[in-house]
Amino acid sequence: MTNKFDDKNKTLGDTLRSRGISRRSFLKFCAATASMMALPPAMIPKVAHALENAKRPSVIWLSFQECTGCTESLTRSHSATIENLIFDSISLDYHHTLQAASGHAAEAAREAAMEENHGNYILVVDGSIPMDNPGYSTIAGISNYDMLMDTAKGAAAIIAVGTCATYGGIPHAKPNPTGAVSVGDLIKDKPIINVPGCPPIPVVITGVVTHFLTFGTIPELDHIGRPKVFYGQSIHDRCYRRPFYDKGLFAETFDDEGAQKGWCLFKLGCKGPTTYNACATTKWNNGTSFPIEAGHPCIGCSEPDFWDGGGFYKALSMPTENITQTALYTAAGAAAVGVAAGALNRAKKNAATKAHPNTTIEDLEK
């Protein structure tokens, strides 16, 4: 039986060597890891040294109001890869989709990991937290809010994975029936790394974990908590179709000459100019392609409120609100502006509520 203490004290280098992985393989692993973390190749020897001596960290993964797409992105990406090797090298002590234990045994595993590694474990969260009625989402009878606040207390750092955990995501979309909020809305006293995307690129998820393993610190973040190394540049700036935008050559429909020639998709609603993510360089499916390369505009899934951005196929240059209506309210005078905006918001909320009728248990049983 494995000595648990020894197992926890193993370095990543020990783990890899015990599996018969050669130094040459390790160098290959480091080259791919540095590439994955968008580090310059000159950093490969430093990554190798740091990773070799990195301790196997305890990771607790909590899933709240989510579709499991983020976990799918990570685990279904490819079967035997660098990402999997990194994930095999951490101690994933709680993940209710992946773990074998269930019920009381699962919760006991979480509590034991929290106690043993207090102050040192990494907490990963996917999904938003319902603040309206806690009954919308519970695990083992514990509300998402209580479980998050309890588990966050002893975490060294929190990684919010996916747009739901980072900015509320689809549950937060209007009219936000569950009162969904993000991890960052609730926790203010811990370092939080936001890794948005619907889902995030798998290598971006593992890249952040690896950065923490490699450097023992959280990566440099942008103004909304995203690691700059992956979210530092817009899709538009790194898009291979950018020269067509500069030349004013746009696809007007999905089957016109412009679409066939691979011209810019801006007029078809591409949110690339306002979206910060690594899709254009890291790409998906092991670097095969990304939505724009496949001919579809970027929907901006790594940005807050992307679902309410005014339509996936509406160009960014078009207003997202009804200008005539807004102007009419504004014309009512400065004193009335607040009232008007409130009325407009209420009208929009009511319209959205009507457009999305509630589903009842009776509906599901039909």
Instruction: Please give the residue ranges that form the binding site for another protein (CB under 8 A).
Output: 21-25, 27-29, 31-32, 34-35, 38, 40-42, 44, 78-82, 85, 238-243, 260-262, 280-282, 285-289, 293-295
CB of 251 to another protein, least distance (A): 11
Q: Which of 162, 167, 152, 173 is nearest to 195 (CA)?
A: 162
CB half-sphere exposure, 69, CA atoms < 13 A? 17
What does the buried/exposed string (b/e) look like for 131-158 if buried means 16 or more CB atoms within 10 Å of the residue's CB? beebebbebeeebbbebbeebbebbbbb
Q: Which among 148, 102, 154 has a CA at the least distance from the CA of 125?
A: 148
Residue whose CB is less far from another protein, 72 or 321: 72
Residues 102 and 111: their CA atoms lie apart, in Å, by 13
Nearer to another protein, 243 or 310 (CB): 243
Would you say 181 or 292 has its CB closer to another protein?
292
Cβ of residue 82: shortest distance to another protein, in angstroms?
Answer: 6
Could you tell me the smallest distance in angstroms from the CB atom of residue 90 to another protein?
Answer: 18
Q: Is the peptide bond before 227 cis (omega within 30 degrees of 0)?
A: no
3-state secondary structure of 284: strand
Q: How far is the CB of 41 from another protein (least distance, A)?
A: 3
For the bound state, the minimum distance from the C-beta of residue 73 to another protein, rounded and expressed in Å, comes to 16
Nearer to another protein, 233 or 330 (CB): 233
Least Å from the CB of residue 163 to another protein: 24
Interatomic CA distance for residues 297 and 265, integer angstroms: 6
- The least CB distance from residue 92 to another protein, in Å, is 21
Structural element, H or E, at residue 208: helix 202-215
Pick 102 or 285: Cβ nearer another protein: 285
Min. distance of Cβ 7 from another protein in angstroms? 22
| Closer CB to another protein, 129 or 239, in the complex | 239
Of residues 248 and 338, the one with the C-beta less far from another protein:
248
CA distance 150 to 335: 45
Under 8 Å between Cβ of 14 and 52? no
Which among 159, 163, 186, 127 has a CA at the least distance from the CA of 276? 163
Q: Under a CB-based contact definition with an 8 Å cutoff, are residues 73 and 205 in contact?
A: yes
Of 10 and 242, CB closest to another protein: 242
Q: What are the distances in angstroms from CA 318 to CA 65, 109, 141?
A: 32, 51, 46
